[in-house]
Homo-oligomer: A and B are copies of this chain.
Amino acid sequence: MTERKKLTLKDIAKELGVSISTASRALKSHPDIAEETIRLVKEYAEKHHYVPNYLAVNFRKNKTFTIGLIVPELVHHFFSTVISGAIDEAKKQGYNILVSQSNDILADELTACQTMLGSSVDGLLISISNETMEGEHLNEFINEGRPIVQFDKITDQVKSPKVIVDDFEGAYQAVKHLIEMGYKKIAHMRGRLEVKNANDRCEGYQKALQDFGYGLNKEWVKNCVLINEKEGYDFAKELMESDNPPDAFFCITDLVAIGVMKYLKDHGFKIPSQVGVVGFSNWKLAEVVSPGLSSVEQHGYDMGKRATRLLIDLIKNHNLDSEETIQIKTKMIVRESSQMKGKNL
């Protein structure tokens, strides 16, 4: 209960025999104020540890210098990377970040938005949940004059700027890489049909096959729903036991790829000499697993920074109509799991 009462502008004004507004302006080195006065006020403020009451400042200015950030899952390598970038960029620009997660549940996303609106964030960064089909809750922000920027998992239902990974190109490069390494029967463990990222990656996969003269074998395309190792393992089993097993797997995410690799290793298939595997996202675990898993780097940190920079610009310019879309280029990270030259090892 040590609490000492806070020093206010009024206190320092009274103490120094100036008016409150003079004190206020002096602290901001307003050109109207005499050098001497400024010095005096600043000195006093410094000495007595004056700290402005930001609640009052924010109230007055109707701004909080805080932005909201909602992701589906916080405990997720990619998203935590994005958040990290967002926080670093925000800090640089003097903004704070309020973080929340939806757990891929629409109701949770709605609540989070409500709280964010309530706590008066100046703008919102959001990656929507799998369940989000329409964007009324997001439009509310825009209607209230607070810009939003969507990233990674987006919906076109909401008119706003977007920062996305070039999923199509990333997938294309991954499959191209597999083809160049000599694999000829490339399967794809894809994600949910309703999720844009999954569709884009699947299209990249198909386009690459097509461009290099391979047909699409639909049996080699499997729909993952939970996107975890078990699905990877099970689908790998299904395909490898079929009459026409593939010789490579391009997986929607690293976790699925790990499951595939586990099945392959458990059943004596050599990676990469017999079967190649490529994941997506380049999680830490792609690096430490053996053989090292080739994967597509999404530059999450950069995405977080760019999205935040964009949002803060919109806030500053009071711009609510932008629909600018930034595509983050992916990068193919080649490790052992896809290097067929290892055939004779």
Provide the residues of chain B in CB contact with A112, threshold 8 Å: 91
Q: How many copies does the complex hold?
A: 2
Within A63-79, which residues are at the interface with B (CB < 8 Å)? 64-66, 74-77
B120–A6 CB distance below 8 A: no
Which of B80, B99, B111, B118 lies in contact with A75, CB distance below 8 A? B80
Which of B1, B62, B81, B285 lies in contact with A285, CB distance below 8 A? B285
Within A250-298, which residues are at the interface with B (CB < 8 Å)? 255, 258, 262, 265, 284-285, 288-290
B91–A84 CB distance below 8 A: no
Provide the residues of chain B in CB contact with A80, threshold 8 Å: 74-76, 80
Query: Is A321 among interface residues, defined by CB-CB distance under 8 A?
Result: yes
Query: Is A101 among interface residues, defined by CB-CB distance under 8 A?
Result: yes
Q: Which residues of A contact B (CB under 8 A)?
A: 1-4, 6, 51, 53-56, 58-59, 62, 64-66, 74-77, 80-81, 83-84, 87-88, 91, 94, 96-101, 111-112, 115-120, 142-145, 229, 255, 258, 262, 265, 284-285, 288-290, 318, 320-321
User: Which of A54, A96, A115, A320 has the most chain B CB atoms inside 10 A of its CB?
Assistant: A96
10 contacts between A and B (CB under 8 A): A2-B142, A2-B320, A51-B117, A55-B64, A59-B59, A80-B80, A94-B115, A96-B100, A96-B115, A265-B290
Which of B62, B96, B98 lies in contact with A55, CB distance below 8 A? B62
Shortest CB-to-CB span from A84 to chain B, Å, is 5
Shortest CB-to-CB span from A120 to chain B, Å, is 5
Provide the residues of chain B in CB contact with A51, threshold 8 Å: 117-118
- Taking A143-B3, A143-B4 as contacts, is the C-beta distance between A91 and B115 under 8 angstroms? yes
Provide the residues of chain B in CB contact with A58, threshold 8 Å: 55, 59
Extra pairs beyond A51-B117, A87-B100 (20, CB < 8 Å): A1-B320, A2-B143, A3-B144, A3-B145, A3-B320, A6-B144, A53-B120, A54-B119, A55-B55, A59-B59, A66-B98, A74-B84, A75-B81, A83-B99, A94-B115, A98-B98, A98-B99, A258-B288, A285-B285, A288-B289
| Assembled-state Cα–Cα distance A111/B55 (Å) | 19
Q: Which residue of B lies closest to A285 (CB)?
A: B285
Provide the residues of chain B in CB contact with A77, threshold 8 Å: 75
| Assembled-state Cα–Cα distance A110/B258 (Å) | 40
Q: What are the 9 tightest A-B residue pairs by CB atom distance, in nearest-first order? A: A3-B145, A59-B59, A285-B285, A55-B59, A99-B99, A74-B84, A258-B288, A80-B80, A75-B80
Shortest CB-to-CB span from A317 to chain B, Å, is 11
Q: Which residue of B lies closest to A65 (CB)?
A: B119
Provide the residues of chain B in CB contact with A81, threshold 8 Å: 75
User: Which of A6, A55, A262, A320 has the most chain B CB atoms inside 10 A of its CB?
Assistant: A55
B98–A97 CB distance below 8 A: yes
Shortest CB-to-CB span from A340 to chain B, Å, is 22
| Assembled-state Cα–Cα distance A96/B58 (Å) | 17
Which of B56, B66, B255 lies in contact with A119, CB distance below 8 A? B66
